[in-house]
Amino acid sequence: MFIPCDRGGGSAAPDFKGFTLLMPAVSVGNVGQLAIDLVISTLDMTKVGYFYTDCLVPMVGNNPYATAEENSTELSINAEVYSLPSKKLVVLQIRSPFIKNKYRPFCETLLSWVKSSKCARVVLLSSSHAYQRDDEQLLGTPLRYLLTPDLEKAVGGRMQELNWKEMEKVAAYPGISDTDKVLHIPGGGITKLLFTESCSKGIQMAVLLKFCSEGDNIPDAFVLVNYLNEWLQLIKTEVNLSSQWKVPSSWRLLFGNGLPPALF
């Protein structure tokens, strides 16, 4: 459930009516989460609350978007909500993995919040194992998208204009029958469940994903967030778009750098 930040003694929930909710799937390479980091940091989004749930592994840490020593000691937890009213954008960042068998309760709680907060649509940033692609998925771009039927009516034409490639369905029984096709997103975490639940509940959702492998996934994050920007135009398009994204201070610790002194 969403809990607003207590600022100045007030705890009134912010108004998200008509906003786009942007969030990551906890998927291979953490690509969606890294891309969300770039969005929050670049747009200097304000933290407006927390998503309280027992479906995620508990964690606490320093402010991942610290810009000075004064705000570096602010605490962050496993699921936080940021907002930018000028762009009608709300972001849910997830920083820890799911507890076993807790995917479905989380999806149900999340989609219930989406409906109650009257968000216009949800955009899920995800990834999938590159080594499990079929022959068709090996061709062309490593980026794919999915739209629920309700969102397809609204933006399907725009995706065609962008020349984006929809996520292919694959044979349910490879080598036996090619007639039964299913959506298969290996390594995608909650992606498939959240998408199918959104379809059944009439929620407008888009999934943007990249095929990738585990390792240094920072380049994958830049590719995915640039893909998102083609559609939503969160920042101005430049010749070198990647240089326009602001890398958060917490990325200095991705590969085992020393702990910040402010932590002690």
Q: Which residues contact 7 (CB under 8 A, 6 or more apart)?
A: none
Q: State how far the Cα of 67 lies from the Cα of 77, in Å rounded to an integer.
A: 18
| DSSP secondary structure of 143-211 | EEEEE-HHHHHHHHHHHHHTT--BPPPEEEETTTEEEEEE---TT-TTHHHHHHHHHHHT--EEEEEEE
What pLDDT does residue 67 have? 83
Q: What does residue 122 show for φ and ψ, rounded to 5 degrees?
A: -120, 135
Q: State how far the Cα of 246 lies from the Cα of 248, in Å rounded to an integer.
A: 6
**Max CA pair span of the chain:** 64
User: What number of other Cβ atoms are within 10 A of residue 169's Cβ?
Assistant: 13
Q: State how far the Cα of 52 lies from the Cα of 55, in Å rounded to an integer.
A: 9
pLDDT digits (tens, 9 = 90+) for 93-146: 999 999 989 999 999 999 999 999 999 999 999 999 999 988 888 888 999 999
What pLDDT does residue 136 have? 84
User: What number of other Cβ atoms are within 10 A of residue 77's Cβ?
Assistant: 15
Q: Cα-Cα-Cα-Cα dihedral of 20, 198, 230, 159, to 10°? A: -130
Length of the chain as a residue count: 264
pLDDT digits (tens, 9 = 90+) for 130-187: 999 888 888 889 999 999 999 999 998 999 999 999 999 887 776 666 667 889 999 9
Task: For residue 167, give the amino acid letter.
Answer: M
pLDDT digits (tens, 9 = 90+) for 187-237: 999 999 999 999 999 999 999 999 999 999 999 999 999 999 999 999 987
Task: Pick the more confident residue, 251 or 21.
Answer: 21
Helix, strand, coil percentages for the chain (3-state, nearest 5): 35, 25, 40
What pLDDT does residue 13 have? 75
Q: What is the pTM of this model?
A: 0.90
- 100-4-200 Cα angle (round to 5): 50
Strand partners, 211: 128
In CATH terms, the fold of domain 15-254 is: Rossmann fold (3.40.50)
